[in-house]
Amino acid sequence: MTEQHQPVPAPLHRPRRLRTTPAMRRLVAETSLSPDQLVLPVFIREGLSEPRPISSMPGVVQHTRKSLLAAVTEAAELGLGGVMLFGVPETRDATGSGALDPSGVLNLAITDVVAEVGDALTVMSDLCLDEFTDHGHCGVLGSDGRVDNDRTLALYAEMARAQAHAGVDVVGPSGMMDGQVRVVREALDASEHTDVSILAYSAKYASAFYGPFREAVDSTLEGDRRTYQQDPANVREGVREAQLDVAEGADVVMVKPALAYLDVVRAVREAVSVPVAAYNISGEYAMVEAAAEYGWIDREQAILETLTSIRRAGADIVLTYWASEAARLLAR
């Protein structure tokens, strides 16, 4: 006796229709990724005659003044949204005085970049003392060896004025000091730099993923930053920090790192009305590069998937070392 098979009922819904071709997938994509949403972080090191590769971040270098200008010119030509400048000085001291020096490496870099591409790119600068202190912390230390919040704020105010005088469009206070946004805003306004924006590193976590960045800035850090950067276990605290920064005058708030904190990106996006940025940091970059080197993943696809995930979580702006390369991939 022949076995009778019942006909398989046709599906009531066929979502695959919207995945049939590349054109169809582009048409119905829920999340966009474009070069003007990306910001390229760049490192300028004092005293170099040639760019210096950063071993833990393949493809990323410490720039000379000359190579920095080539990098930002390319960024402008690719249509990126901006660049974030980090300075690496030759000498450091306990108070990070090089950060306030008009002739210091970071302030000179700001002036150079603004003169070169200021009409085409938003020029941002890191506002923190960690690259400039001999102990590697983000502020001045008290007698107990801990960062003194309020003494540090006074230096942030001076650093903000110095960067604004150099011509920066956006300052990025990243030290996670209580009250830093208010102090920076007041300092900028009092010195008639009311048009300089503040990108606040609002939810910056004490993360293991910063490791390669320490090489990038020749960090001299002793100990850790857990008394001022946030506990990775906390989401609500990150939202509160962002809301406080908005109340103090932040124009944009940021979550850092990005990938291990996509839930925080989403929570912050839902809690504030200002633009939200997320920093796709050095360790996240290094993991993808290392896996790709071993042939374990498709590198280019992983780059775009990573950046799209950060946008999908709610970030309006993504800081990433892949910014220039991603722009080229998106143009294909």
Q: Is 57 left (phi over 0), alpha (psi -120 to 50) or beta?
A: beta
Both structure tokens of 27: 């048409």
Distance CA 250, CA 201 (A): 10
State the pLDDT at residue 225: 87
Whether residue 6 lies inside any domain: the answer is: no
Under DSSP, the state recorded for 122 is E
pLDDT score of 224 more than 90: no
Nearest of 196, 158, 168 to residue 109 by alpha carbon: 168
Asked, for residue 46, whether it belongs to a domain, the answer is yes
Environment class of 165 (CB within 10 Å of its CB; exposed 0-12, middle 13-18, buried 19+): middle
Residues with a known catalytic role: 204, 256
Q: Per-residue pLDDT tens for 234-264?
A: 999 999 999 999 999 999 999 999 999 999 9
Give the helix/strand (H/E) hosting 299: helix 299-313
Confidence of residue 2 (pLDDT cuts 50, 70, 90): low
CATH code: domain of residue 305: 3.20.20.70
The residue with greater pLDDT, 138 or 245, is 245
In-domain check, residue 27? no
Residue 281 domain-assigned (yes or no): yes
The pTM (predicted TM-score) of the whole model is: 0.95
Domain for residue 149, yes or no? yes
Q: Are 292 and 325 in contact (CB under 8 A)?
A: no
Does residue 138 form part of some domain?
yes
**Position 20 in a domain:** no
Q: Within a domain: residue 5?
A: no
- Domains contained in the chain, number: 1
In which domain, by residue range, is 190 found?
A: 32-330
- pLDDT tens track for 25-76: 999 999 999 999 999 999 999 999 999 999 999 999 999 999 999 999 999 9
Which pLDDT tens digit goes with each residue over 64-122? 999 999 999 999 999 999 999 999 999 999 999 999 999 999 999 999 999 999 999 99
Which of helix, strand or coil describes residue 123? Answer: strand
